[in-house]
Structure 1
Amino acid sequence: MSAQSTTLELDAVVLGAGVAGLYQLHQLREQGLNVRAYDAAGDVGGTWWWNRYPGARFDSEGYIYQYLFDEKLYKGWSWSEKFPGQPEIERWLHYVTERLDLRRDIRFSTRITSADYDEERGRWTVRTDKGDVIDTQFFVSCAGMLSAPLTNQFEDQDSFRGQIVYTSSYPEGGVDVAGKRVGVVGIGATGIQVIQSIAHEVGHLTVFARTPQYVLPMKNPKYGQAEHDWYHGRYEELRKTIPHTFTGFEYDFVHVWAEKTPEERQQILEEIYQDGSLKLWLAGFGEMFFFEEVSEAVSEFVRDKMRARLKDQHLIDVLVPTDYGFGTHRVPLENGYLEVYRQPHVDLVDVKDNPIARFRPEGIELTDGTVVELDVVVLATGFDAGTGALTRIDIRGRDGRSLAEEWGRDIRTTMGLAKHGYPNLLTTAVPLAPSAALCNMTTCLQQQTEWISGAIRDLRQSGKAVIEPTAEGEEAWVAHHEEVASATLVPRTNSWYLGSNVPGKPRRLLSYIGGVGTYRQKCDEEAAAGYPSFERR
């Protein structure tokens, strides 16, 4: 690489300006590093910038989906409700950005296209779609677990005369659906939020449903001064407990199935269900992840709740899961979602056995030849989770090895924090670390960025310049990850948790599910022992 081609020399490049990227930028700057963050979005927010579709909101309580490293920062923001919506979340991230003065070191609307490691120099050459060439010691990915949307999945999409929108890149000004024939493809967490939010506006709504979801009703009270004082006053308590729970939420598993009578179990399930949160999933009976009998009992409890609301047998057949257990797949919170289907202007189309064949100029054609005429189609068709954000960048490690090619064969990392063969590439929200599945994202992202910051600090203080996982260290972590995963029922369920939604993707549980607190402890032990799973040179 000639000196003439280098436009900028940095200590670290941070990919992404969402929850992880903002905090990572702040921490590395505090160490005195010359660092810059890059994001393809037009402003800060990450997933909360891109996902501005109708109904987008937290399903973690707002007061725990916050940074806990600064008491003044935490107490300086007050949420208007328990589960805030996207516009308010975006405003919160702007608040954080301004308070920490981060904007001056972020480049927006700039996509990193390649990163090449020069082993002789021990540095990365990072290139962007704006023509930037950056020479950097560290390349830190904060690109997000769910940031690589699946697009153009259907034949002849371009032939459709109406409007097609993806939830993952929803227009900032919204979409006019008033009085129109609207189709929604996908009934995962995102599709559910869209459906319940636009049903009252459209002229006619057709939902194309393939995989039924267990859903839990959300109770979302408004917050005033009393509630703000309540959770602001819990800062120390939350800071000390949340990072060590199983899922990074404030609540944890406390009930033991075998110790309760059938009547007591039913009473506990009912009480937790009425909480109107993810508590039934994340703080009910932990045995449901390990034992078929418990899984079936809890699953049937939720099915009964759903059947009672749906009433109609066709709706029950399409929308109530029966072939996988509650909690082994992402559990969405909803508000009046099931009742939408009982409205006369709403049609539910089961595409499990009669899939979408292609788009036509006038709408969507099913395999049996049925054509559904539409004006607007909303595609809530998911992401290439965990790996997609980085495999869409041409990342080359030692000896020119390709990350996309390696992850295309087998998805492996060391603690989800680094990858053998890619020195000084440090990662958050990639496979084999807790993220998205059974994890409050801000809890996990704070921990991962703090570990990365600590590893860089320790490396510099030791007078060394390069950190890379050893092959043995990576093998040991993959083996541990697989042992933990295989002890549960989760890998038996086809979902994006295992990459099942992406044809040809290697099957592996993407998120570590040994517990957020356990993972933190293992990471802390790794650092305290002098990074035995890594080579530092």
Structure 2
Amino acid sequence: MTVEHGQAPTDVAVTIVGAGFSGLYLLHRMRGLGLSTRVFEAGSDVGGTWYWNRYPGARCDVESLEYAYSFLPELETEWRWSERFASQGEILAYLNHVADRLDLRSGITFDTKVTSARWDEDSKTWTVTTNTGEVVRSRHLVMATGPLSAPTRPRFPGIDSFKGESYHTGQWPTEPVSFAGKRVAVIGTGSSGVQVIPEIAKTAEHLYVFQRTAHFSIPARNGPTDEDRRAHWHANFPELRRIAREQSRTGWIPDPPKGSALAATPEEREAEYRRRWRAGGPSFLYAYSDIGTNQEANDTAADFIRARIREIVKDPKTAEILIPRGYPVGAKRITIGTDFYETFNRPNVTLVDAKATPITAITETGVTTSAQHVDVDMIVYATGFDALTGALTRIDIRGAGGVSLKDKWAEGPANYLGVTTAGFPNFAMITGPGSPSVLSNVVTSIEQHVDWVTDLIAWMERNGVVRIEPTETAEHVWLEHSRALADATLLQKADSWYVGANIPGKPRVLLAYVGGVDAYRRKCQAVAAAGYEGFAIERRDLAGTG
């Protein structure tokens, strides 16, 4: 085995990459097994995506009471969420509280990026190398890098020539950023754009919003946590958590759908959509059971939102630019915002249609489109992420035979259950491609994945298993199953990051599993109960080691 940088490797049982929701819970579970564990985190503290995404207005789009761990019952009552939809700062404070309570920081190496990981067949171990030159050898490698943690910047000519301030929402500085008295450009109107735009508009001298594609946005109706709801949740949380895990497609407890949109009368649909619009939050998308599968049903929801945009935005021309067209509601991630459409009624906000007049260059002083040049003091790139696969393929991960994960996934992220991939032994991904991940309450999905991976590692340790990986046959069957489910939805009828369309050259594949958290959980449980059906297993006595 070759050791890079001439440094002797450190032997541990498990290496974990990432210290967000996934990495923290993984470390806790590995300690429970009594396994030596190293966690590497690129940030200076815990938090993962909530450490990096500090932009003004950043908050969760799942209600706070449900966007939280369930493994430690005491956390339900000792942590009191102040808002219905928690802000980035409060979520980060919560994760710091968990890390302190469980003394997790002592197992994490911060300010350290994993640059490569290589499987060694002879020793049945992974050799992990960091940007600091440290080398760690471990029996298991678990990637807790998160589905939305690899920021992408657009490839505009001259992007590095701009002499003003520039920021990406996914890499926001820890120190405060002031917009007061400044001319600011925001490029992008996806989830982070919808959240940051109203905040910048409050103090900027002038805000220019460059929108290429209009997105459907639902009002959050955020506010202080309802005390009656909190009391109900605390009194019943074991059962409510069980329902979210085992009986919900989303991993959270939604307002149940009212059957088919097409079976309802126009008056009934209007009343139901208005009720959910007033209530706020993501439950609007689940008003009827066929919104995500039937185009005619979907059109009823999309048309309702378009009518609300025309009501809210005073300038008809601006309203028409903001109205999404050409794709189903929900096929791009539906955004949950506060005063997003209302912001375009402000005199200091200008909407630039970057589809009709595309951005052609970034200059020293601002943004150039095919129709004009706009001088600004600051550019904010709300341009999203290389979702689900980017954080994995940006690391040089090489499995059996030296094959790189990036090369294996050149035609799409082949995997089994969204947690393992053939040719990469003793390797797991938390909320990776092929799992519910971004189509679910990700904390519910994280806990399910971490528990499943923990059970797998414990089973390997008990049974003398030194090497395990999915078979190519099992992987193929899972991919075909996932593809068939995806084909029955409208999710592929948009150029979204759900299918990798925001990354030039990325294969067009629906990256998340659409079968639901409940069905997915049952499948994972069945695989484990059958002795890890679909996996090639090598035991110590047969391997001739130990």
User: Per-residue CA shift, 1:359-404, capped at 9, x if unaligned?
Assistant: 1111111134x11000000011111101100111000001110111
Q: Does 1:355 align with 2:345?
A: no
Contact 1:53 1:174 in 2 (8 A): no
The percentage of aligned residue pairs carrying the same residue is 39
Other-structure match for 1:73: 75
Counterpart position of 1:36: 38
Q: Structure 1's 450 and 252: CA in aligned 2 closer, same or farther, altered over 3 A?
A: farther
Given the alignment, which residue of 331, 335, 340 partners 1:332? Answer: 335
**SS of residue paired to 1:157:** coil
1:485–1:225 Cα change, 3 Å: closer
Contact 2:249–2:518 (Cα < 8 Å) also in 1: yes
Tell me which amino acid in the other structure corresponds to 1:458. Answer: W
* Alignment correspondent of 1:126: 128
* CA offset digits 1:43-83 (Å, max 9, x no partner): 00000000000000111100000111121122221111111
Residues in 2 aligned to 1:529 and 1:259: alpha-carbon distance in whole angstroms: 42
Unaligned 5+ runs, structure 2: 539-546
Shift of 1:345: 1.3
Change (3 A) 1:105 1:427: same
- 1:375 maps onto 2:377 in alignment: yes
Q: TM-score, structure 2 length as denominator?
A: 0.95
Paired AA for residue 423 in structure 2: G
| AA in 2 matched with 1:151 | R
Question: Does the residue aligned with 1:426 lie in a helix, a strand or coil?
Answer: strand
SS in 2 for 1:208: strand
* Alignment check: 8 A CA contact 1:246 1:252 kept: no
2:84 partner letter: K
- Give the C-alpha shift of residue 536 in structure 1: 1.4
Between stretches 420-429 and 70-79, larger displacement belongs to 70-79
Q: Residue type matched to 1:522 in 2? A: K
User: For residue 533 of structure 2, what is the aligned residue in structure 1?
Assistant: 532
Kindly provide the CA deviation profile for residues 298-338 of structure 1, in whole angstroms up to 9, marking residues without a partner as x.
11111111111013222122111121111121111111111
Amino acid at match of 1:199: A
Counterpart mapping for 1:288-307 below 5 A? 288-307=291-310
Offset, 1:252: 5.5
1:152, distance to aligned residue in structure 2 (A): 5.5
Give me the CA root mean square deviation: 1.4
C-alpha distance in 1, partners of 2:272/2:172? 40
CA distance in 2, matches of 1:19, 1:291: 35
Provide structure 1 residue ranges, at least 5 long, that are not aligned to the other structure.
none
Question: Residue 298 of structure 1 aligns to which amino acid in structure 2?
Answer: A
> Could you list the per-position Cα deviations for residues 173-216 of structure 1 after superposition, in whole angstroms to 9, with x for gaps in the alignment?
12121010000000001011110111010001000001101111
Mapped contact 2:243–2:253 kept (Cα < 8 A): yes
Determine helix, strand or coil for the equivalent of 2:492: helix
Of 385, 388, 391, which aligns to 1:389? 391
Cα displacement (A) at 1:264: 2.1
Deviation of 1:352 (Å): 0.9
Separation in 2 of the partners of 1:221 and 1:54? Answer: 17
Which amino acid in 2 is paired with 1:232? Answer: H
Q: C-alpha distance in 2, partners of 1:261/1:342?
A: 34
Give the Å deviation of 1:225.
Answer: 5.8
Is 1:317 equivalent to 2:320 in the alignment?
yes
**In 2, Cα distance between the equivalents of 1:44 and 1:409?**
33
Specify the SS of the correspondent of 2:126: strand
What's the secondary structure of 1:234's corresponding residue?
Answer: helix
Q: Which residue of 2 aligns with 1:497?
A: 498
Aligned to 1:401: 403
1:118 CA displacement: 0.5
Looking at structure 1, the residues matched to 219 and 420 of structure 2 have their Cα atoms a distance apart, in angstroms, of 38
Give the C-alpha shift of residue 343 in structure 1. 1.3
Q: Compared with structure 1, are the counterparts of its residues 176 and 226 closer, same or farther at alpha carbon in structure 2 (3 Å cutoff)? A: same
- Tell me whether 1:274 sits opposite 2:275 in the alignment: no
Aligned counterparts, 1:404-423, within 5 A: 404-423=406-425
2-structure distance, mates of 1:322, 1:224? 36
Bigger mean CA offset, 100-109 vs 220-229: 220-229
Q: After the TM superposition, which of the residue ranges 67-76 and 4-13 deviates more from structure 2?
A: 4-13
Counterpart-to-counterpart distance in 1, 2:428 and 2:62: 27
**Residue aligning to 2:542:** none
- Give the match's secondary structure for 1:520: helix
CA contact (8 A) 2:420 2:427 kept: yes
Q: Which residue of 1 is the match for residue 177 of structure 2?
A: 175
For the 8 Å contact 1:80–1:224, the answer to whether it is kept is no
8 A Cα contact 1:219 1:277, kept in partner? yes
Q: Could you tell which deviates more after superposition, 459-468 or 122-131? A: 459-468
Q: Deviations over 1:75-109 (max 9, x none)?
A: 22111111111111111000111111111000111
CA contact (8 A) 2:310 2:320 kept: no
Partner of 1:261: 265
Per-residue CA deviation, residues 91-132 of structure 1 (Å, 9 max, x unaligned), is: 100011111111100011100000000112111000000111
The answer to whether 1:104 aligns with 2:130 is no
CA distance in 1, matches of 2:329, 2:17: 35
Match of 1:199 among 198, 201, 204: 201
TM-score (norm 1): 0.97
List structure 1 segments (4+ residues) > 6 angstroms apart after TM superposition. Answer: none
